[in-house]
Amino acid sequence: MPRHQFRGRRTTLEKWPALNPGIKSSATYFDAWVSHPERLGIELLQDGLAANSQAVALNYAELRRTENGQYRVEDQIGGASVAVEPTLIINATGGWIDIANQSLFPPEARPAPLMGGTKGSHLIIDNDELCAALADHMIYYENEDGRICILFPYLGKVLVGSTDIRVDDPETVRCEADERDYILQSLAFVLPDIKIKPEEVVFQFAGVRPLPASTDSFTGRIPRDHFCTVVEPTDGGPPVLCMIGGKWTTFRLVRGNGSGHDAGKTGPAAARCDNRPADRRRAGISRQRAGLACERRHSQGHFRRAYG
Ligand SMILES: Cc1cc2nc3c(=O)[nH]c(=O)nc-3n(C[C@H](O)[C@H](O)[C@H](O)COP(=O)(O)OP(=O)(O)OC[C@H]3O[C@@H](n4cnc5c(N)ncnc54)[C@H](O)[C@@H]3O)c2cc1C
């Protein structure tokens, strides 16, 4: 990728004239972008199913421990359930980890809260002047309150975010009016002359960052790292491996931690394992080099096959 580039105030404003004239300098660097994470999620499921003929992917299904200490997978829509005998349970439910643990342990054996999730809301704005001002760049900046904010072109519109607010119940999160005001204010701070009309906010959404439990008063300081904790049951049931934190950018590393436990490995041994799927491991570097051009050529057919 091209090298990064630093610019002083004058050259920054020459390149992005709409930026706040109070800017001191800018740094431009190149990075990868997961444009459609939901598609990556589907591909991960497909990798898992291809890797083991006994693997089953179930949507809207929950694992639950019954009063007599057995386990059942329950269909949350149809209501059917099936008994299972797990030797290891991996709790990778993100912001729901503590809630899921409530179904996996009797009350007296539940672990202390592991999760300190924070809500992040984003807006999608349809404003041509804003889109043009970005000149195809993502802008990553510090708002007046010290929070890191971003805005970038997205499918012909601009995605702007985000907030960072503690939540207890991930099920109820949504982008609230005060968050919308905060995001628009942060946008006005970085691009002061671009006026956004209310009707130009065409979509808003919120997600929960699965962060570790923390007492830090500034949510921006809660570590964004990931780790696994094994909760051993007191009554001889299967251990529950809880995956705390994690991002799209680190998902293979997180899997390394989990599979390391599964295979009796821990720590550095787990971190060293090659987490790429077998086909990508074999293809190695050469695939990376040929990758982009080839993917572009085949992407239409690939998307048709994979997603219908
Ligand atoms: C605002 C925001 C910005 C982010 N920015 C980035 C970024 O720039 N780069 C990046 O790499 N990552 C980013 N992330 C992180 C990323 O989007 C994911 O949140 C992260 O990868 C966690 O994924 P996860 O699968 O662990 O959890 P989640 O994505 O939360 O998935 C957990 C799933 O478990 C399900 N579930 C809950 N309870 C149960 C149960 N009992 N049984 C079965 N399933 C259950 C839930 O329905 C949910 O689908 C961001 C997240 C947010 C919220």
Residue spans of alpha helices (H) in 24-127 = 37-51, 97-104
Nearest ligand 1 atom to the CA of 103 is 41
Strand pairing class (240-244; 89-91): parallel
Q: Kindly report the length of the chain.
A: 308
DSSP per position, 119-160 = EEEEEEE--HHHHHHHTT--EEEE-TTS-EEEEEEETTEEEE
* Alpha carbon of 114 to ligand 1 centroid (Å): 15
State the DSSP code for 221.
G
pLDDT tens-digit profile, the chain (308 residues): 889 999 999 999 999 999 999 999 999 999 888 888 899 999 999 999 999 999 999 999 999 999 888 999 999 999 999 999 999 999 999 999 999 999 999 888 888 989 888 999 999 999 999 999 999 999 999 999 888 999 999 999 999 999 999 898 898 999 999 999 999 999 999 999 999 999 999 999 999 998 888 777 777 777 777 888 899 887 778 999 999 888 888 888 777 666 655 544 433 333 333 444 445 544 544 444 454 454 455 556 655 655 55
What is the predicted pLDDT for the residue at 266? 39
**Which DSSP helix (H) or strand (E) runs through 184?**
helix 177-190
Quote the CA–CA distance of 172 and 162 in Å, as a whole number. Answer: 18
* Alpha carbon of 161 to ligand 1 centroid (Å): 17
Cα angle 299-35-222, degrees, rounded to a multiple of 5: 150
Residue spans of alpha helices (H) in the chain = 9-15, 37-51, 97-104, 128-134, 177-190, 251-262, 267-272, 278-307
Residue having the nearest C-alpha atom to atom 26 of ligand 1 = 94
What is the predicted pLDDT for the residue at 1? 83
Residue having the nearest C-alpha atom to atom 39 of ligand 1 = 93
Q: Under DSSP, is residue 85 helix (H, G, I), strand (E, B) or coil?
A: coil
* Alpha carbon of 156 to ligand 1 centroid (Å): 25
Quote the CA–CA distance of 105 and 235 in Å, as a whole number. Answer: 10
How many CB atoms sit inside 10 A of residue 281's CB? 11
How many CA atoms, within 13 angstroms, populate the side-chain half-sphere of residue 275? Answer: 17
Q: To test ligand 1's pocket by mutation, which of 64, 247, 250, 251 has the most ligand atoms within 8 angstroms of CB? A: 247
Q: Which residue, among 274, 228, 276, has the nearest Cα to 88 in the 3D structure?
A: 228
Distance of CA 172 to the CA centre of its chain: 18
Quote the CA–CA distance of 222 and 6 in Å, as a whole number. Answer: 29
What is the predicted pLDDT for the residue at 196? 97
Residue having the nearest C-alpha atom to atom 14 of ligand 1 = 247
Q: To test ligand 1's pocket by mutation, which of 44, 45, 77, 93 has the most ligand atoms within 8 angstroms of CB? A: 93
* Alpha carbon of 13 to ligand 1 centroid (Å): 37
Residue having the nearest C-alpha atom to atom 11 of ligand 1 = 248
How many CB atoms sit inside 10 A of residue 216's CB? 11
Nearest ligand 1 atom to the CA of 161 is 1
Pocket of ligand 1 (CB under 6 A): 62, 92-96, 100, 120, 162, 207-210, 246-249
Quote the CA–CA distance of 157 and 130 in Å, as a whole number. Answer: 9
Cis peptide before 162 (omega within 30 of 0): yes
* Alpha carbon of 193 to ligand 1 centroid (Å): 35
What is the predicted pLDDT for the residue at 56? 94
- CA end-to-end span of the chain: 33
Nearest ligand 1 atom to the CA of 41 is 25
Q: Which domains does the chain have, with CATH numbers?
A: 37-114+221-307 (no CATH), 118-209 (3.30.9.10)
Question: What phi and psi, each to the nearest 5 degrees, are found at residue 177?
Answer: -60, -40
Q: Under DSSP, is residue 229 helix (H, G, I), strand (E, B) or coil?
A: strand
Quote the CA–CA distance of 129 and 50 in Å, as a whole number. Answer: 46
What is the predicted pLDDT for the residue at 133? 97
What is the predicted pLDDT for the residue at 281? 46
* Alpha carbon of 37 to ligand 1 centroid (Å): 11
**Which DSSP helix (H) or strand (E) runs through 186?**
helix 177-190
